[in-house]
Amino acid sequence: MYLEHFGFREYPFNLTPDTDFFYAYGSHQEALNVLLVALASRDGFLKVTGEVGLGKTLLCRTLLNRLKDSFATAYLPNPHLDAHEIRNALARELGIAIGEKTTAPCLTEAIQTRVLELAHSGLRVVILIDEAQELSDAALEAIRLWSNLETEKYKLVHIILFGQPELDVRLRRPELRQLAQRISFCYRLKPMAPAIVSGYLTHRLMVAGSRDHNLFTPRAARLVAHVSRGVPRLVNLCAHKALLSAFGEGAERVRPRHVLRAAADTETLRSHLSWSNRLWSRP
């Protein structure tokens, strides 16, 4: 649509979690640092929570890329699995050949054997579980038992739960207290501050191939921050539609009026508009 008009190689504000576009701003950089330090300290259970759209999956995949050479990693993106299915999923991620009718005890033993093999070759296992708030209690208990794999000195398996705030609520329930007590590091992602949104927009534009650091005028960037409340997914949605609006006019830059049109056309952004936003529509 507007790639050629603005000189992009690719769309800068896709909603898919593309690690090439990871922006190491305050909250996300802090979370990444916490996770890397915790893994270096050989802690077993870690947790990252945040509201919808704050970029948990992108953070998870960025961490995966950072760990490729020094850990054996297993990424479990589907939380809608029962205890046996999640063991199967982990076994596949660790390269274990399993049959359709492998029993739970045999599967557990195979996972333990594989983890020990990896440890002997100098690799620790890191399991990253996305959308963890959707896991069943039985699946969470199966995951907790994986953390029992350890030597006298350190853990052989590290488990990182990524989830919405509902995960924190669930872990306060008495029946999950054993798991909650094992979580040694936690981090809560936050929305971007307005000043960070401006840098975020510029970063993604540059990665996509733009040479214009001021493609969004300062007032337009502030308005994107205002209507999106600093939520990365909503920033992307608003910025993409604003670029479409500017392209439709043949404009060379995105101005407040383009952002206002984008917000008015999007239900999740419209709720943060008010009559006072008419002031933003001036060039």
Predicted pLDDT at 43: 81
Predicted pLDDT at 274: 63
User: Which H or E element spans position 48?
Assistant: strand 45-49
**Average pLDDT, integer, range 126-138:** 95
**Average pLDDT, integer, range 51-79:** 92
Q: Which letter does DSSP use for residue 16 in this model?
A: S
**Would you list the DSSP string of 123-166?**
-EEEEEESSGGG--HHHHHHHHHHTT-B-SSSBSEEEEEEE-TH
- At residue 275, what is the residue type? W
Predicted pLDDT at 275: 46
How many CB atoms neighbour CB 194 within 10 A?
Answer: 16
Least confident of 14-28, 80-94, 148-162: 148-162
Least confident of 36-40, 67-71, 128-132, 184-188: 67-71
Which of the two residues, 40 and 281, has the higher pLDDT score? 40
For 268, the 3-state DSSP assignment is: helix
Question: What percentage of the chain exceeds 90 in pLDDT?
Answer: 75
Least confident of 17-31, 58-72, 98-112, 228-242: 98-112
For 99-110, the pLDDT digits (tens) are 777 788 888 899
Question: What Rg do the C-alpha atoms of the chain give, in angstroms?
Answer: 22
With beta carbons less than 8 A apart as the criterion, state whether 127 and 157 touch: yes
How many CB atoms neighbour CB 275 within 10 A?
Answer: 6
Predicted pLDDT at 267: 86
Which of the two residues, 45 and 279, has the higher pLDDT score? 45
Which of the two residues, 279 and 46, has the higher pLDDT score? 46
**Average pLDDT, integer, range 242-252:** 95
Predicted pLDDT at 70: 79
Question: Which domains can be identified in the chain, with CATH numbers?
Answer: 26-188 (3.40.50.300), 192-281 (1.10.8.60)
In 164-260, DSSP assigns E strands to 183-188
**Average pLDDT, integer, range 264-279:** 71
Predicted pLDDT at 213: 84
* Average pLDDT score, the chain: 90
Predicted pLDDT at 276: 43
For 48-58, the pLDDT digits (tens) are 999 999 999 99
Predicted pLDDT at 272: 72
Tokens encoding 184? 């040694």
For 143-194, the pLDDT digits (tens) are 998 888 877 778 889 999 999 999 999 999 999 999 999 999 999 999 999 9
Predicted pLDDT at 6: 92
Q: Give Cα separations from 58 to 53, 68, 123, 226, 236 (angstroms).
A: 10, 16, 24, 23, 13
**Could you identify the residue written with the tokens 């534009």?**
205
Predicted pLDDT at 282: 54
Predicted pLDDT at 148: 84
Predicted pLDDT at 278: 52
Predicted pLDDT at 269: 87
Burial tier of 235 (Cβ tally within 10 Å: 0-12, 13-18, 19+): buried
For 246, the 3-state DSSP assignment is: helix
